[in-house]
Amino acid sequence: MPTTRVRYACQACGHVSPKWLGRCPACGEWNTFVEEPAAPLPRPPVPRPPARAAEVVSIADVALEREPRATTGIAEFDRVLGGGLVPGALVLIGGDPGIGKSTLLTQVAARVAAQGRTVLYVSAEESARQARLRAERLGPLPRDLLLLAETDLEAVQRAVERLRPALVVVDSIQTVYRPDVPSAPGSVAQVRECAAALLGVAKGQEVTVLLVGHVTKEGQLAGPRVLEHLVDTVLAFEGDPHHAYRLLRATKNRFGSTHELGVFEMASDGLREVPNPSAAFLAERAASASGSAIVCAMEGARPLLLEVQALVTPTHFGVPRRTAAGVDYNRLVLLLAVLEKRAGLHLAMHDVYASVAGGLRVADPAADLALAAAVASAFRDRPLDPGSVVLGEVGLGGEVRAVRHAARRVGEAARLGFARLVVPRGNVEEARGAGVEVAGVATLGEALAVLLG
């Protein structure tokens, strides 16, 4: 008879089964069940003194204190966190392999250590020499940046208790393990228990802990969903590895807003901040080319001027091609149908290619009108006015609907020197007053007449 009870947990979704299964009944994934110790048999309750009841107070009488924050010296990183690092916070950073997570956190650790605060960088995936080589490429090596190449969580806890650092970086949570949990590193049980232990370290010693997390092929954080519920902040580091720009956004933040966006550029000496991303994204724009339109999209609470490009060519096959990069494919197909039905553009025998310059992805509905205008410009081979910015959501009836945050978008366009805006008629009053010409349109046909004549 075994002395330890076991169970089987799915690594994809955390579903628990008393026996091993080839396919998970909850998420449908194959060969994801791993063995882990089951909960011990129930024991008789131990008598405890009665706990003191919590006092019931009015929510209006609860003392409100701002969390103390420590800036890292990287403004774009602090912006996404809500102003800086909060002592006792547990932060999870996820991203695709090779996107620059370790580079970003090494720079953050070096900046914090350069301020005279002790930082412990736990390298659980690389050797100490590999971590040193990367750090040398990024800049000077501060003496207060301490390195620990270790995967044993107990050794990490002892080092944190002995050093009392201001910041701990664990790279990554999937490679750290607890010796008392009989499962392989990266399993559901190990990730859950290690994250819970590090949460206790962060809260108990008032130290900020940054965790690096792996992601699945769908871009979701790997491991059980409980990991995202345990941490205080979840940051997503995104970008196309073939382009220089990287985006840092918060999908959960207990100490700040989730509507902020940080923009970085990958260079030979590490990640550089991009304080004016709109100008950077439009730097190489060909103003006289057809099929190009400028839109001011909202990424969280940050307006960004982006170039939407389209190319329309006669098809040589029976079925025309539709290719989208940076825009939603289904949205592109929908707009093509609206252009054919409501604006009289016969696109059924043409291939249509659409993209967003710079490798970015746009999900803002306000980019609909700019995408439709770019397709019409490419179809007629007539360039749009290079000094115009186009905003608006397009409905199936060909109507142009109002968008949110019009004043912020107009202000960003005026700051970059654009002199004309084509906006929905419902946003005209909000858009006036920025010193630019505002043209209000109600339908897609009216917008194309204004833009293309």
Tokens 């550089």 belong to: 272
**90-95: strand order across its sheet:** 145-148, 119-123, 167-171, 208-213, 90-95, 233-238, 245-253, 261-267, 270-273
pLDDT at 329: 96
Of residues 135 and 12, which shows the higher confidence score? 135
- Comparing 52-56, 190-194, 286-290, 344-348, the range with the smallest average pLDDT is 52-56
Report the predicted TM-score, pTM, of the whole model to 2 decimal places.
0.79
5-28 residue pLDDT tens:
678 888 888 888 888 889 998 888
Identity of the highest mean pLDDT range in 19-23, 57-61, 150-154: 150-154
Q: Distances from the Cα of 415 to the Cαs of 135, 159, 234, 371, 418, in angstroms?
A: 37, 50, 32, 23, 8
All residues at 6 or more sequence positions from 206 whose CB lies less than 8 Å from its CB, including other chains: 87, 88
